[in-house]
Amino acid sequence: MLRKILTQTSSRRLLSSSVPPLFSKPSISPFSSASSSPEPPSSESITVEQPGTTISVDRSALYNLPDHYHESTPDSELVKHLKSVIKFRGGPISVAEYMEEVLTNPKAGFYMNRDVFGAQGDFITSPEVSQMFGEMIGVWTVCLWEQMGRPERVNLVELGPGRGTLMADLLRGTSKFRNFTESLHIHLVECSPALQKLQHQNLKCTDESSSEKKAISSLAGTPVHWHATLEEVPSGVPTIIIAHEFYDALPVHQFQKTSRGWCEKMVDVGEDSKFRFVLSPQPTPAALYLMKRCTWATPEEREKLEHVEISPKSMDLTQEMAKRIGSDGGGALIIDYGMNAIISDSLQAIRKHKFVNILDDPGSADLSAYVDFPSIKHSAEEASENVSVHGPMTQSQFLGSLGINFRVDALLQNCNDEQAESLRAGYWQLVGDGEAPFWEGPDEQTPIGMGTRYLATAIVNKNQDIPAPFQ
């Protein structure tokens, strides 16, 4: 089946990008803040003489500010909002609340008003590296649809679709499987109006009902709907859910072990009016509740940790997905960078492909955290006894087992030297550092491979077979 899909998949474009490394964290200490004040200028003065007194007045700064002088800039609307929340509360806010405001504040959140993806944006995702990624996800969805018994109607849901690149490549790659594409009703869960417009454009949609946020994609003639949350997607229909680089943007709470117990890391405003991290004086309700829920980690594992990072929204989302899959049938594919272990301290900020201070200029940088894959498994199994969880496996294993090597070989037969170089670069970026490279390539071709950085896991209805390629 995989070979049939791969050989019938149409070739569209050859895309690759050069990305700076995003995975080695710099040594930033957010607890310490450096303040600087301008040095007094030493040129141009006027002398005023009075009986018995001579006064020199420096006037240079009135005309030409010295190079090292930095005029304080007014706070952005998001900074004002965060400070007002902290002031109104009479104390600091959780890291999770800070993260949620920074990313999805309706007026000034990082994702809300612009395109942040690609070489010209702040970071690059796998679908932007090569069309082969979206095509392999298409292979996975067709195989799962076969295992589901080829239902005549399927809700294909993507969480956080970005530019819509993955979905566009998936539809193009599966366009010859008419029974499959004709069964699809696409539901995009996206809270950003700016990104919704990009998705509409890249899926080549024509509006059918603006009031219901419904359109038709000319790529496969499939209806496309937009929703703010997964709960808004209609239930009662077999569902396939794709969550690629979505979980890493969900808010996390951070806790630190102290002599007082597990205290929560919070965001406050210091005397210099700058944001800073502080610890709660006593364990917060969130610390008491979430640390108790952290049952997927053994007591021995927790005993060794000094820091713990937990995402309750990730657990809630997983449970919603599991309940839907358990009752309606189908499955979910989750691909993200993370660990098959409890996470200690991974929150990071990226602006223009570089790490920056998490508290610096909120709303101008992406905030993300490693995904705790054991918590996904635990949450799904806790929510529904009708689902099974498979994986995680590395992205290299996942793409290799689905046949990305056959796909790249097929594409190489019909391209020039420049396109071939782009194809190989994209291939190595997706599977590099992985456990299933199919060519021997020079080390310099794989400096920033996503092959082992990203993990894939699947949640499926128990009445279906084990999904490819987790058998």
Position 209 scores a pLDDT of: 59
The CA-to-CA distance between both ends of the chain, in Å, stands at: 15
Do residues 175 and 219 touch, judged by C-beta distance below 8 A?
Answer: yes
Range of the domain at 324: 2-17+111-250+313-461
Position 467 scores a pLDDT of: 96
Position 113 scores a pLDDT of: 67
Position 134 scores a pLDDT of: 95
The CATH number for 214's domain is: 3.40.50.150
Residue 160 region by backbone torsions, left for phi larger than 0, else alpha for psi between -120 and 50, else beta: left
Position 23 scores a pLDDT of: 30
Report how many domains make up the chain: 1
In this structure, the strands spanning 239-244 and 330-339 are parallel
Domain membership of residue 30 (yes or no) is no
Position 34 scores a pLDDT of: 34
Q: For residue 219, how many other CB atoms are within 10 A of its CB?
A: 21
Domain membership of residue 321 (yes or no) is yes
Question: What tokens appear for 241 in the block?
Answer: 């859910």
Helix (H) or strand (E) holding 359: none
Q: Give the C-alpha separation, 423 to 400, whole Å.
A: 15
Q: Give the C-alpha separation, 345 to 29, whole Å.
A: 13
Q: Give the C-alpha separation, 169 to 172, whole Å.
A: 5
Phi, psi of 440 (to 5 degrees): -90, 115
Domain membership of residue 65 (yes or no) is no
Domain membership of residue 285 (yes or no) is no
Question: What tokens appear for 464 in the block?
Answer: 């279906």
Q: Give the C-alpha separation, 204 to 219, whole Å.
A: 7
In this structure, the strands spanning 214-217 and 205-209 are antiparallel
H-only helix segments in 219-338: 285-293, 299-304, 312-328
Q: Give the C-alpha separation, 202 to 217, whole Å.
A: 9
Could you read off the pLDDT tens digit of each residue along the chain, which spans 471 residues? Answer: 554 555 444 433 333 333 333 233 333 333 333 333 333 334 444 444 555 554 444 444 444 444 443 445 688 889 999 999 999 988 999 999 999 999 888 887 777 766 545 444 444 567 788 899 999 999 999 999 999 999 999 999 999 999 899 999 999 999 999 999 999 999 999 988 888 999 999 999 998 655 566 899 988 899 999 999 999 999 999 999 999 999 999 999 999 999 988 999 999 999 999 999 999 998 899 998 888 878 787 778 878 889 999 999 999 999 999 999 999 999 999 999 999 998 989 999 988 778 889 999 898 888 999 999 999 999 999 999 999 999 999 999 999 999 999 999 988 898 888 888 888 888 888 988 744 434 444 444 434 568 888 999 999 999 999 999 998
In this structure, the strands spanning 330-339 and 454-461 are antiparallel
- DSSP-based helix, strand, coil % in the chain, nearest 5: 35, 25, 40
For the stretch 265-270, contacts whose Cβ atoms lie closer than 8 Å and that sit 24 or more positions apart, written own/partner, are 265/95, 266/91, 266/92, 266/93, 266/94, 266/95, 267/82, 267/86, 267/92, 267/93, 267/94, 267/95, 267/97, 267/98, 267/359, 268/86, 268/91, 268/92, 269/83, 269/86, 269/87, 270/33
Rounding to the nearest 10 degrees, give the CA dihedral for residues 467, 335, 224, 216: -90
Position 392 scores a pLDDT of: 97
Domain membership of residue 257 (yes or no) is no
Position 464 scores a pLDDT of: 95
DSSP state of 39: P
Domain membership of residue 446 (yes or no) is yes
Domain membership of residue 352 (yes or no) is yes
